[in-house]
Structure formats: C-alpha cells, structure tokens
C-alpha cells in the first residue's frame, strides 16, 4: 500500500497496465489528458479509478468527482494526493 504522494510515473504505469499498452510509458507525461491522450474508454476508466482507489487507499466519490481532474495526469495526482492527506474527503472505511 502506498503511503507517500502519488507520482506521475505511478499513474502512467497504471494507465499502461489498464490499457495493456506499454507505449503509454513513453508517450504520456504529466500534461497528458487521461481520457484523450491516454485513450481510456469508459470501462478502462472505471478499472483505472478502482486500481487507484485500491493502490493508494482512497475512495473517489463519482457524485462529487470533477472530470476536470482528468485533464492532465499532474492534476489527477494532485487530486489523489489531496484525498490521501485530507481525512475528511472520503474515508475508505464505511
């Protein structure tokens, strides 16, 4: 389980695994759009989000999630890092 901040490289690796596309590792960077540049379809996006939740011990509430967080990998990392550090955001234990 990850305890420190989420890195761009970790997110790119997860996207690459979900897409089963090793080229993502060299094609994507911190400014890449998770939907458009990475090319995640809706099912892959769900798998990606579930993997992020599991690996980084956060819960992403889709009712409150702003799709703008997917505008770049760096923005998504910032969102996850904030969720990890803010105990009131969405505690994993319900």
The CA-atom distances, in angstroms, between 84 and each of 5, 35, 66, 67, 93 are 8, 23, 17, 18, 13
Q: Could you give the CA distance from residue 40 to residue 46 in angstroms, rounded to a whole number?
A: 9
pLDDT at 36: 94
Residue range 44-81, pLDDT digits in tens: 999 999 999 999 988 888 777 888 999 999 999 999 99
Q: Which ranges constitute the DSSP H helices of 1-94?
A: 8-19, 24-27, 42-56, 73-85
Structure tokens that stand for 56 in this block: 């980084």
Class of domain 8-58+65-85: mainly alpha
Q: Is the dihedral of CA 70, 72, 76, 79 positive or negative?
A: negative
Q: Choose between 32 and 4: higher pLDDT.
A: 32
pLDDT at 4: 61
Q: Could you give the CA distance from residue 82 to residue 89 in angstroms, rounded to a whole number?
A: 8
pLDDT at 61: 81
Q: Choose between 47 and 88: higher pLDDT.
A: 47
């Amino acid at each position: 389980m990850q305890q420190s901040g989420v890195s761009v490289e970790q997110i790119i690796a997860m996207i690459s695994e979900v897409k089963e596309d090793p080229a993502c590792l060299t094609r994507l960077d911190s400014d890449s759009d998770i939907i458009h540049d990475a090319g995640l379809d809706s099912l892959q996006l769900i798998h990606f989000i579930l993997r992020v939740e599991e690996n980084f011990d956060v819960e992403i509430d889709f009712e409150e999630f702003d799709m703008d967080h997917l505008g770049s990998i760096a923005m998504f990392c910032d969102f996850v890092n904030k969720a990890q550090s803010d105990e009131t955001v969405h505690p994993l234990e319900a």
